[in-house]
Chains A and B, each alone.
Chain A
Amino acid sequence: MKRYGLRAAALGYLLLLLAIPVGMVFYRMFENGLSPVWDELTSPAFTHALQVTLIIVAIAVPANTIFGIFCALAIVRRGSGRGNWLLNSLIGLPLALSPVVVGLSLILVYGRNGWAGDWFLDNGVRVIFSLPGMVLATIFVSLPFVVREVVPVLREIGTDQEEAAWTLGASRTTTFWRITLPAIRWGVAYGVVLTTARALGEYGAVAVVSGRLVGSTETLTLHIDERYLAFDQTAVYTTAVVLAVLAVVTLVAMNMLGRKERLGGDHRPAGNETLR
């Protein structure tokens, strides 16, 4: 009985906090019928914003995944004392800093008269108020997730499997691809989901560095804000739903990958076998 009570309480809480507001968004989206929704989905401003968001995700997520895995390896396998402490603190920084501060700091470095900004401008690359800056901002704010997920998994699996592979003749590269990466894949997958979610939904840092030019440097989140200020309700809710769907798709894709693998037998319990 107690278990059901608890479950009902948890569900009720989630319903109140998540399901009802998100449901309202769906309801508002179709309030004026289907055609305004279609108009929004086909409008150049929306399609461009979708494109920009997907490009940013397509760059930021792989970049942070690769960096995250190597950074976690550096911390766990090569780490020692002070260097580790510094690296750990730096990795945590994006979580502690307000995204707006992240955006401003990027402007200070890459903007006009910034440390590196003039050099980039002289070489014909515009970083701030342009896509490179938005990618940088997104990478910055979604940096810690893969590292944070992979570090504990690496600690837990220890070095035994890698050392066994070495003695069997596997080079360090082979060992990484054949042993280490498969062993940490769950941590990586979960980190990728979190990174993707953050990259899709980032607003503050991207808002500061983008310049918010409609049809040019506008992501889906910025598009929502811009439409909201224009009192274009259908556009706001439609875009919000698209963002939600993208997030859900990422989650479901990861879960399906996981299920397929579990059916492969990897995590099946040993069952009631005899001891030997």
Chain B
Amino acid sequence: MAITVQQVTKRFGSFVALDSVSVAIPSGSLTALLGPSGSGKSTLLRVIAGLEQADEGRVEILGEDATNLEPQKRGVGMVFQHYAAFKHMTVYDNVAFGLTIRKRPKNEVRDRVQDLLSLVQLDGLARRYPSQLSGGQRQRMALARALAIEPKVLLLDEPFGALDARVRKELREWLRRLHDEVHVTTVLVTHDQEEAMEVSDRVVLMNEGRIEQIGKPRDLYEHPANEFVMSFVGPVNRLGDGFVRPHDIELRLEPNGSTSQAAVERVVYLGFEVRVELALDGGERLWAQVTRDEAKRLGLDRGHVVFIRPNRTRVFDQSAG
């Protein structure tokens, strides 16, 4: 295990940011800490980095106890949401910082910085200042700077949070490819479930200072442990005591033994996906997700009556939730 966190508790005043959290991050993995804001995911990352001190519990990095180690001695590379670029230094000096303070020989530093700059596709921009870079470029510079010290683990705190949607999507794919290339154990904090699903190979889903579920992205989606997990990792309808995904609602024009009747309230075309908003006879509302072809075949329109059959409905034990 690259990182082991054992029963870590962290309080800010009376607010409990982390409530006896335990998690193990395997070497070479790209793990996402996913959760809504205030769930404790950033605090957990900062405890691992040594930027916050845990009130209780233990942190190990590569098998060594790091609980009381200063951030300087943990060998972690950290990337911040707002880049944390050293504004008064050039891109070159930013990336070289960790090496120059270690007093490495000049030509070694130069070679390493050049390698890193081409790894993050910033060759030719070494003489620029951060203010002359775009957000995406700044974040890649920050990543190169963190990688320069050959960190034991790489910690990314909402690294794409300040970027616009298109750049964010590009950088996600790029990060995934980069990770396949460098294999450094990476922990990524995000509140965006799509980002976590797309980039990581393991997801740690957090809520209110506790871990709700740990697993592969697909496991979380298909086998959610509780109501919170199910509704956080994808869209969900509540149907009586059960929960069902909108794409697991089958629509028919004729009833069969197990269907219930519903009225179409609205049909929204979103390209490939069509969203059908329905009202059941009992007054319950839900929506179904069908393909464009399916909607066409059924001839769905406002006011029509359809018969629905939910598949893969999940019922969670309330006392456990």
Contact = CB atoms under 8 A, between A and B. Distances in A.
A10 B137 CA distance: 43
Interface residues of A, number: 29
Contacts of A183: 87-88
Given A266-B87, A268-B131, A276-B136, A169 B98 contact: yes
A174 B98 CA distance: 11
A155 to B, nearest CB: 15
B80 interface: yes
A171 B170 CA distance: 35
A274 B72 contact: no
A171 B72 contact: yes
Given A174-B101, A179-B86, A268-B129, A167 B71 contact: yes
A178 B101 contact: yes
Interface stretch (A110-118, A158-166, A200-208, A225-233): A158-166
B258 interface: no
B107 interface: no
Interface string B121-163: 0000000010111111100001001101100000000000000
Contacts of B133: 270, 273
A273 B132 contact: yes
B52 to A, nearest CB: 10
Instruction: Place the interface of chain B in its size category.
Output: 35 or more
B51 interface: yes
Contacts of A182: 88
Contact of B149 (A160, A168, A171, A266): A168
B80 A164 contact: yes
B167 interface: yes
Nearest to A169: B72
Given A171-B72, A174-B101, A276-B137, A163 B167 contact: no
B184 to A, nearest CB: 14
B131 A163 contact: no
